[in-house]
Amino acid sequence: MDDENNIKEDLDFWATNSEESGWNISSTDEGSQKMLEEEDEKQIKIQTGSDVVDDYVYNEESTDDERMIVNMGPQHPSTHGVLRLQVELEGEVVRRVKPVIGYLHTGMEKTGEELAYFQGPTNTTRMDYLSPLFNELVFSLTTEKLLDIEVPERAKAIRILMTELNRISSHLVALATGGMDIGALSMMIFGFRERELILNFFEKTTGLRMNHNYIRPGGVAADLPDNWQKDVKEILKVIPEKLKDYDEMLLDNPIWQGRLKNVGILTTEECLAYGITGPSLRASGFSWDLRKTQPYSGIENYEFEVPLLSDSDVFSRWRIKVLEIFESLKIVEQVMNTIPKGAYRIQDKKVTPPPRKRLDESMEALIHHFKIYTEGFKVPPGEAYVAVESPRGELGCYIVSDGSSKPYRMHVRGPSFCNLQALPVIMADSPIADAVAAIASLDPVIGDVDR
């Protein structure tokens, strides 16, 4: 007993480098492993890992001994996060798939019920971390619908500008990781390289590269930075050039075509039955884009087309993302040329805090500021559902208000959550090598799946 105490004190001395033993050090014996003086054979076997019991029993009577269940994930590089798939294999052919999710569940809908409306975007922006601005947009639009307010034209234009840039950056990641999964590693480097341009612009505008909290109920957090046109022009110039490079590299590439064409078929009927929206639906030959059919935030004022492909395979789902980037670039260019002057957030004292400068001059402004940031603004009772077209499909937000300054219930309809249900359909009866391509083509973001 004495010996043990001595060892502990010694260890404390070396850990803290002082005679006084800190309470946190002495109370844990982490790192104070003692070597065994005599190690028996069993111990050595356990330590070296050769103590494996062969408990495999060969059953001659079983007929489907060709079938086995393999766990793919949660920590698998090509499952895009912590997605786990239980795959039933017959030889090399996938027979059944069961997606197991929830490894990234952090209870964000519950958190949303405890944050005031002006804090809400901070929470929702972390859901789909590749397209954070869409999450903020849909939350803000729902809140504004409940409040029955209309944001100024400039705020609308800024919102469209930022979200369409976000669509480009999100699609670039989808292309990059999709290429990486197939083995086109240069595609990964290229995609992330071009995305950096957009993220730099986001950093300049919002202060952060992701989780911006930029679009808020009542407008946006700040105006665009000085000379923002220069950065956007750079993006408009560089990205189309680079997309041409991708096409040169991949479009006619026989390996790329061989891996992706006629693989992972998802027809329109299946898409509609499983509620799959976004690029996957459009790649199956069904034209449905919420930007056209149920426009939001003034996107109907800009001219663009909805790309449509009808092969419904992984190749079309890859290709349609490239085409959508071109359309988003068109919108960005139009916004840049036509953005109106004016306020970037609504001039409604109920929702908008006073400008920072006024706080030093006016007592009322200080009280007003204090009220909004402690209590928040009250939202009339009711319920609202608003959907926007996120890079992955219909992103919806359903808020029930009970008249207080916090949502009574905040639910986000994540497109990835729904799209994931198509995985068993896509992957069934296809070789295991195509499974990775199929997952990448759906482009699930696990933050959005688990919320």
Partner 1 sequence: MSYETINVDINQYYETVENFKKEGYEMMVDLTAVDWYRKREPRFQVVVNLLSVSKNLRVILNVSVPDESLKIPSICEIYPGANFFEREVFDMFGIEFENHPELTRILMPDDWTGNPLRKDYGSGRIPVQFKNAPKVD
310 touches partner 1 by CB under 8 A: no
**In the block, which residue shows the tokens 């007993």?**
1
Q: Omega into 355 within 30° of 0, i.e. cis?
A: no
437 touches 113 (CB < 8 A): no
Residues 328-367 that bind partner 1 (CB under 8 A): none
Per-residue contact string for residues 237-276; x = within reach of partner 1 by CB under 8 A: -----------------------------------xxxxx
418 touches partner 1 by CB under 8 A: yes
129 touches partner 1 by CB under 8 A: no
Q: Which is nearer to partner 1, 197 or 423 (CB)?
A: 423
CB of 27 to partner 1, least distance (A): 5
Question: Interacting stretch for partner 1, rule CB under 8 A, among 13-21, 71-79, 168-176, 290-298?
Answer: 290-298
421 touches partner 1 by CB under 8 A: yes
What is the distance, to the nearest Å, from the Cα of residue 345 to the centroid of all Cα atoms in its chain?
26
Question: Interacting stretch for partner 1, rule CB under 8 A, among 26-34, 181-189, 256-264, 311-319?
Answer: 26-34
Classify strands 67-72 and 84-90 as parallel, antiparallel or unpaired: antiparallel
Phi-psi sector, 283: left (phi>0), alpha (psi -120 to 50), beta: alpha
C-beta atoms surrounding 228 within 10 Å: 17
Residues 391-410 that bind partner 1 (CB under 8 A): 394, 396, 398, 400, 402, 408-409
Q: Which is nearer to partner 1, 126 or 259 (CB)?
A: 126
How many Å apart are CA 392 and CA 128, to the nearest integer? 10
Is residue 123 exposed (0-12), middle (13-18) or buried (19+ Cβ within 10 Å)?
A: buried
Maximum alpha-carbon separation in the chain? 88
392 touches 399 (CB < 8 A): no
Phi/psi of residue 83, nearest 5 degrees: -95, 135
User: According to CB under 8 A, which one of 17, 24, 48, 337 is a site residue for partner 1?
Assistant: 24
The sign of the dihedral angle between the CA atoms of 364, 365, 370, 371 is: positive
6 touches partner 1 by CB under 8 A: no
Residues 85-124 that bind partner 1 (CB under 8 A): 101-102, 105, 107, 109-111, 114
Which residues make up the interface to partner 1 (CB under 8 A)? 23-24, 27-30, 101-102, 105, 107, 109-111, 114, 272-277, 286, 288, 293-294, 296, 383, 385-387, 394, 396, 398, 400, 402, 408-409, 411, 413, 417-418, 420-421, 450-451
